[in-house]
Amino acid sequence: MKMARHTILWTCLLCAFSLQAQRLGAWLDAADKAMAGGNYYAAIEYYKTALQIEPDNLDIRYRLAEAARQFRAWDLADSMYQSVTAADTTGLFPLALFHEAEMNQRLGRFERALTLYEQFLEQHPDADPALRTRAEAARARCAWAAERIYEVEEGMTILPLPEGVGDARSDFAPVTAPDGRLYFSSFRGTLPQDEHYPPRPLIQVYSWDPAQPDLLPERASWNRRDRHTAHSAWSPSGKYLFVTLCDYVGEANVRCELWRYDADSLSAMPQRLPDTINLAGFTATEPTVGFAEAWQAEVLFFASDRPGGKGGLDIWYALLDSTGMPGAPRPLEALNTAGDDLTPFFHTPTQTLYFSTDGWPTLGGLDIYASTLDATGQWSEPEHQPAPLNSTYDEAWFSLSEAGGSGWFASNRPGSLILDDELQVCCFDLYQMLWRELDLRVTLRDDKTGYGLPGVHIEVWALTDSVPVLVTDIAEGDSLQHLPLEKGRTYVLRFGKEGFYPQTDTIDLTTPELEALRRLERTYLMEPDHLELVVKAFDGDSGAPLEGVEFRVVDEEGYDVAYFASEDDNEGEALVPRGHRYLLISSKVGYVSDTTVLDLPALGDPYVLERKVVLYPKQIEDFPPIILYFDNDQPDPGSHSRRTDKTYAELYVQYFKRKPLFIDEYTKVLKGQDRLVAAERIEAFFDREVANGYENLKLFSDLVLEALEKGLSVELIIKGYASPLGDERYNDILAQRRVAVLENHFKTYRNGAFLPYLESGQFKLTQVAYGERLAPQYISDSA
């Protein structure tokens, strides 16, 4: 069996042949023999010589085209097939048109190939159904490739080996070893004591240090002198090295077996893998070993043409036991095709298998695909890798660095070393794939909850020699954000979101550690700039939860930071800026207020702070002074009487109903935030000062009544004030009317409950009316 046509053609093998004048039959016999032996280069030369003898012989042209196709000399094959189809008027060569289309497909001339496939299907309706199926599939692939070829990964760079490192005789199977050196296979050797002349090439493994590019490659110590030694695959544990040992079968075909070295004794004889792997009569080649998380085991992947696959070379895999030996192999059904599927490489960090194939849609020849193994052991749909990694030529033996930022592969694309200038046939050369861009995966989380935090403003600044340049500005980023960064530069990342402290980070992509990466993950914990204050209130006498408590948080300058209340239960919550010291003032009508110091820095500046406050019911002596508020010029606006029949209850109701009017009037000349703040102040005045004053009056009245019922004597001093909107004499009269309002309150409260005590003198009301002369500062002259 052949090692695979994708292997032997790399030898670019040329067996000696005589160019002495011979009869046509001898040249054709030699060419046919070379074709049968897989020596396509020799066959090309023999057919070319025969064609010189009979230039118009279509059969020779067709045979030359076939040899060139097998040798992958696409241009020569295309021109020969084209000359045959143009001159074949009798239809002796029906496959010429199909192969001409195939050659144009290989050369990346997809539109031309599409036309030729359509011509073949139209002109040969009775062709072999299998061939027509191939033509229809190829036509669809050309349409696919015609669009795909323009999908170029801009962040990727492809570099050839430095001059002098590569060789025209074909280098392939590059992989980075644990020691950091690049190991690859090459046809640079010559088979000793070979009966053929000249001696046939010998595959050997070489190593090269990319960190010292001026040094030439060196032969690996484990090479066999009498057999092809190819491919190097270290197990993830580092204990074992798997290699391929091959032999010629016939003139040019090669059959391979898998062997294993102990990594710490490479000079010893390797161990041949079991016959279940090295099935007699078939090839087993191109090993790679990775750790599969789904199976919790190291796994050997390899390519083979054994029965049980789908056709051509297929990918097989076998789990390794504790001694590093593989069990029974299985075909990788999810990825294999009827074409060739080969050169597997398993990237353990991402659980991804890279492989080359011509069975899946390609840009031409072999293309690199990737499939990921999930936690359940299922493979994802193979994903075609974009240009410039893939091209219209062959790409195979892709391997990826541990960090994913660079990789190696082999290709016969233009730019590779040419064995034959006339045929423009390139053997495989090694190329390095580098990601110019790094995929920075930013995860943003709320440091308080640990949950993802969307809506963050993200800025990425590139530092230059002059000034920073803003390269990315995302107004509201996702909690998981991908940011492409160019390697070799330094970036500053800034994150901001309302309610959170801003964050800044520097990413230096000039360092070797980061330059080697394809992806970089960073998690940023955004710290809330506020504290969640939770206050629970309890009655000091009974210990019962206390509803309806109002809480104020005041900063060190005396400004209110938060105001909240416990409405349906005894708990109140508010957001308070972190990093400061505050006073927590808790109050409820009928209870003595409580003041607690909240020193957030001393408490470790937490995200959540819970506090318990205990309020004690007021006794009668705890109430005064009780402050009551009146609407402007109330009661009885414009009256010059010192008396009134109004009570505070009815005046309070009317006053409170006018709250919206006061808010509109007080804020009508303001805008924006100023208007909002002013409205909140008026709202708070009515809800806290006016309403609480009235509630305190009722509670105080009940306590006074209880004291009187117990036989105690009570004297109340009532002071009346008026704002300085009117003249001084009118304000004195208004203040006396307001005192009279309180007198009326006690005379009418609870259906005149205070009257007996007022008449007996046990309860005394002393009146003091100050007008505006001694009005406190909180009495406004504008309301």
- 143-189 pLDDT, tens digit per residue, is 999 989 888 988 899 999 888 787 767 899 999 999 899 999 998 88
The third-level CATH classification (topology) of the domain covering 5-107+109-148 is: 1.25.40
Q: Is residue 5 scored above 50 in pLDDT?
A: no
pTM for the model stands at 0.66
Cα–Cα distance for residue pair 304/287, rounded to 1 Å: 10
Residue linked to tokens 């004597």? 713
How far is the first Cα of the chain from the last one, in angstroms, to the nearest whole number?
A: 106
Q: Which of 640, 658, 625 is nearest to 783 (CA)?
A: 658
- Report whether 256 contacts 246 (CB < 8 A): yes
Cα–Cα distance for residue pair 191/199, rounded to 1 Å: 6
Cα–Cα distance for residue pair 516/504, rounded to 1 Å: 24
Q: Is residue 133 scored above 50 in pLDDT?
A: yes
What pLDDT is recorded for position 17?
42
What pLDDT is recorded for position 13?
38
Question: What is the dihedral sign for C-alpha 592, 593, 596, 597?
Answer: negative
Helix axes 672-684, 659-667, angle to 10 degrees: 150
pLDDT band at 776 (very low <50, low <70, confident <90, very high): very low
Q: What amino acid occupies position 74?
A: W
Across 501-513, average pLDDT: 90
Query: How many residues are present in the chain?
Result: 783
Cα–Cα distance for residue pair 485/518, rounded to 1 Å: 10
Could you report the per-residue pLDDT of 260-308, keeping only the tens digit for each? 999 988 888 999 999 999 999 999 999 999 999 999 999 999 999 999 9
CATH number of 530-617: 2.60.40.10
Cα–Cα distance for residue pair 725/634, rounded to 1 Å: 12
Give me the architecture of the 437-526 domain, per CATH. Answer: Sandwich (2.60)
- Report whether 245 contacts 205 (CB < 8 A): no
What pLDDT is recorded for position 288?
98
Please report, for the chain, the start and end positions of each structural domain, with discontinuous segments joined by +: 5-107+109-148, 160-435, 437-526, 530-617, 621-771
pLDDT band at 642 (very low <50, low <70, confident <90, very high): very high
DSSP secondary structure code for residue 396 in this structure:
E
Token pair of 439 as six digits:
């995929």
pLDDT band at 18 (very low <50, low <70, confident <90, very high): very low
Q: How far is CA 335 from CA 310, 341, 380, 647, in A?
A: 10, 8, 9, 92
The third-level CATH classification (topology) of the domain covering 160-435 is: Neuraminidase (2.120.10)
Cα 559–Cα 561–Cα 565 angle in degrees, nearest 5: 120
Q: Is residue 510 scored above 60 in pLDDT?
A: yes
Could you report the per-residue pLDDT of 204-263, keeping only the tens digit for each? 999 999 889 889 999 999 999 889 999 999 999 999 999 999 999 887 789 999 999 999
What pLDDT is recorded for position 1?
35
Radius of gyration, alpha carbons of the chain:
46
DSSP secondary structure code for residue 210 in this structure:
T
Q: What average pLDDT does the chain have?
A: 89
Identical topology for domains 437-526 and 530-617 = yes
